[in-house]
């Protein structure tokens, strides 16, 4: 079998035309899954694939699309993503009749969390509404990804995609996948990007990588200098939370409270060099990325001359996540084809071998068989254990299969792209117009008893020395509208969930100098008062002397130290203890914000608030009404 002809390629759409993939994502998972749909379709030969966020697509054009794949996430409380709300409002218009989408073919994949009652409700409602509008023949049934499964949403997505491609392929025989014509090395050392500043170089490199085609990064909005790197936690070395201050020394930064800062991290140069060496690449050659037929992946890149080339080392460092992300199943499938080709070639040329040669060929054969097992449906659980649960990176996988050599053409497409990381901003632009503050937990975990893994971006930030002047590529990600100064606030944010609320409090403190502001009731939680009471002095300062968190002003600051007594105490316990204050705030029209870990905390907090309302004779559906009014907001992360 030719290594460029996988056994089960994804087909193009049945009419050989455009496949539209629309996603609605809140935390980035649906966008990631939609990108996978698009990449598999392109690798399968689909002549036109467009992956768009729902808020960038005009829903009036929907009847003109023959094949559409929807990838939709659902929030923990059943909320559709913000990017879906306008699209959904249009679909609910009364003037759309039952023939509006007649003949329309579609497929829906949902991402949700089965711990919640409204599991994948956004995707289910979308299916029902499309059917009501005349789209009665989906390409395949709805796919439901569950964040609680040990393999995450991937467990459902992989077989669902295979069914999707098979269904489309029955209408139109598949086009064989192809190795893309993407690399054109120039071995002359022409200097490293003369005349280009950092922003333009980042944009150029990332616009050239086909795996980033659907991410639309653009040029970084800011290159910010780190001026403060302060550790907030004390004793436990594995619990390292940092306060970072990033600054634009020449101008103000345009953001608002509730926004997030997206950062493109730098990879460890030694890991980049190890990847390049393992793949037998020339780090100083210049490459050109072109699509099949000579078209550029990036319309912004000139076709001729030095400016359409980039040094290979720079390209890898800025676009290919070689030492942090785990590769996908398709990576192992393609590796198995190249292992097969190499093994068969050597077998034909080794009729008489020494014992060392026989041993080497035996090892190669075993590696080929292991890769084929990983790529098979039967090996999915073993692959999950090896690849995801144990946190294997692309570099580690390549090093563990040293006799398999994939061409760079394939590595560019199959290596996970280097993605931006988003962090809640913990400062107010009114207090710090040319700075952004972040509260970041430095991620570290044991993948196996002998292998400790580290988060790429948080570890990189923690290692930056403010005196060295390192510039951090940044983008502002708009959040929901900040609360009006006249709206009372109930904030619940244990751990680093306090980050956006530090910004809220700073903002109110500045605003109330000029005008009266509504009170803030804040519930914070941590393990120990002495070890990880983040921003202790800040909160206590604003809780005194009639400031924004003071009881005298109608607010309050209450802390749950979970490990300082025999029984665990969490924020939900403090909410129940202060039930009268909480109810008074809710009756005064307060908005509720919950931020922090996506494990049990959000559900426990909601249950505590519902209990407070019920005990005082309130309506059990009060919180649901707050949600519909945009006054119950949850921001969580795993």
User: Is-contact 596 497, C-beta < 8 A?
Assistant: yes
Residue 514 has a CB neighbour count (10 Å cut-off) of 8
Write down the residue that tokens 């995707």 correspond to: 123
Residue 103 CA to residue 87 CA, distance in Å, equals 20
Has 570 been labeled as part of a binding site? yes
- How many helices and strands in the chain, by DSSP H and E? 19, 20
Q: How far is CA 208 from CA 19, 217, 288, 422, 632, in A?
A: 22, 11, 8, 22, 41
Has 637 been labeled as part of a binding site? yes
Has 455 been labeled as part of a binding site? yes
DSSP string across 537-588 = HHHHHHTSTT-TT-GGGT-EEEEEETTSSSS---HHHHHHHTHHHHHHHHHT
Has 148 been labeled as part of a binding site? no
Has 100 been labeled as part of a binding site? no
Residue 146 CA to residue 327 CA, distance in Å, equals 20
Q: How far is CA 570 from CA 386, 537, 591, in A?
A: 35, 21, 21
Has 410 been labeled as part of a binding site? no
Has 456 been labeled as part of a binding site? yes
CB within 8 Å of 601: residues ≥ 6 apart: 494, 497, 570, 571, 572, 594, 636
Joined together, the tokens standing for residue 467 give 């005196």
Residue 155 CA to residue 196 CA, distance in Å, equals 43
Scanning 376-494, the segments in alpha helix (DSSP H) are 380-383, 394-400, 408-414, 456-462
Has 424 been labeled as part of a binding site? yes
Has 568 been labeled as part of a binding site? yes
Has 174 been labeled as part of a binding site? no
Has 319 been labeled as part of a binding site? no
Residue 72 CA to residue 120 CA, distance in Å, equals 8
Has 412 been labeled as part of a binding site? no
Has 76 been labeled as part of a binding site? yes
Q: 108 in the Ramachandran plot: left (φ > 0), alpha (ψ -120 to 50) or beta?
A: beta
What Rg, from alpha-carbon coordinates, does the chain have? 27
Has 423 been labeled as part of a binding site? yes
Has 458 been labeled as part of a binding site? yes
Annotated binding site for NADP(+): 496, 562-563, 568-572, 604
Annotated binding site for FMN: 73-76, 147
Annotated binding site: 73-76, 147, 421-424, 455-458, 496, 562-563, 568-572, 604, 637
Annotated binding site for FAD: 421-424, 455-458, 637
């Amino acid at each position: 079998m030719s290594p460029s002809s996988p056994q089960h390629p994804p087909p193009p759409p049945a009419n050989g035309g455009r496949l539209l993939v629309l996603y609605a994502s809140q935390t980035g998972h649906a966008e990631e899954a939609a990108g996978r749909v698009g990449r598999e379709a392109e690798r399968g030969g689909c002549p036109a694939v467009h992956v768009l966020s729902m808020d960038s697509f005009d829903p009036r054009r929907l009847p003109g699309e023959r094949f559409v794949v929807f990838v939709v996430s659902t929030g923990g409380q059943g909320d559709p993503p913000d990017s879906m709300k306008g699209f959904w409002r249009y679909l609910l218009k009364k003037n759309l009749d039952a023939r509006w989408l007649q003949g329309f073919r579609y497929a829906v994949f949902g991402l949700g969390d089965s711990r919640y009652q409204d599991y994948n409700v956004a995707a289910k409602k979308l299916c029902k509404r499309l059917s009501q509008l005349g789209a009665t023949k989906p390409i395949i049934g709805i796919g439901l990804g569950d964040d609680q499964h040990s393999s995450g949403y991937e467990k459902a997505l992989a077989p669902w995609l295979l069914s999707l491609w098979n269904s489309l392929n029955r209408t139109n025989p598949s086009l064989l996948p192809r190795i893309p014509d993407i690399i054109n090395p120039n071995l002359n050392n022409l200097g490293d990007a003369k005349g280009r500043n950092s922003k333009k170089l980042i944009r150029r490199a990332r616009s050239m990588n086909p795996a980033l085609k659907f991410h639309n990064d653009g040029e970084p909005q800011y290159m910010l200098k780190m001026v403060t790197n302060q550790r907030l936690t004390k004793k436990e070395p594995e619990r390292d939370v940092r306060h970072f201050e990033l600054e634009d020394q020449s101008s103000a930064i345009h953001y608002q409270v509730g926004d997030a800062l997206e950062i493109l991290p730098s990879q460890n140069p030694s890991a980049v060099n190890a990847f390049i060496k393992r793949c037998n690449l020339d780090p100083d050659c210049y490459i050109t990325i072109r699509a099949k037929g000579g078209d550029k992946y990036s319309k912004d890149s000139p076709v001729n001359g030095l400016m359409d080339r980039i040094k290979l080392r720079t390209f890898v460092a800025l676009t290919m996540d070689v030492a942090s992300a785990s590769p996908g199943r398709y990576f192992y499938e393609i590796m198995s084809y190249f292992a097969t080709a190499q093994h068969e070639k050597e077998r034909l040329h080794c009729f008489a071998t020494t014992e060392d040669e026989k041993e080497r060929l035996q090892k190669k054969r075993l590696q080929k068989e292991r890769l084929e097992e990983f790529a098979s449906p039967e090996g999915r659980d073993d692959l999950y254990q090896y690849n995801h649960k144990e946190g294997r990176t692309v570099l580690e996988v390549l090093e563990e299969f040293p006799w398999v050599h994939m061409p760079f053409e394939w590595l560019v497409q199959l290596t996970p792209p280097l993605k931006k990381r988003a962090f809640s901003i913990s400062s107010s632009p009114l207090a710090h117009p040319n700075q952004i503050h972040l509260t970041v937990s430095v991620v570290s975990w044991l993948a196996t008893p002998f292998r400790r893994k580290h988060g790429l971006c948080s570890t990189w930030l923690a290692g930056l020395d403010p005196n060295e002047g390192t510039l951090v590529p940044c983008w502002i990600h708009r959040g929901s509208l900040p609360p009006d100064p006249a709206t009372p606030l109930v904030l619940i944010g244990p751990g680093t969930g306090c980050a956006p609320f530090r910004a809220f409090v700073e903002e109110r403190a500045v605003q109330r100098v000029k005008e009266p502001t509504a009170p803030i009731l804040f519930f914070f939680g941590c393990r120990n008062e002495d070890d990880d009471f983040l921003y202790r002095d800040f909160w206590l300062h604003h809780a005194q002397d009639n400031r924004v968190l003071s009881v005298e002003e109608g607010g309050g600051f209450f802390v749950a130290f979970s490990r300082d007594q025999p029984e665990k105490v969490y924020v939900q316990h403090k909410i129940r203890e202060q039930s009268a204050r909480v109810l008074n705030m809710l009756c005064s029209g307060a908005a509720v914000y919950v931020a922090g870990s996506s494990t049990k905390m959000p559900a426990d907090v909601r249950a505590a608030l519902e209990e407070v309302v019920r005990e005082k004779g309130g309506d059990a559906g009060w919180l649901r009404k707050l949600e519909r009014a945009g006054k119950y907001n949850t921001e969580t992360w795993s």
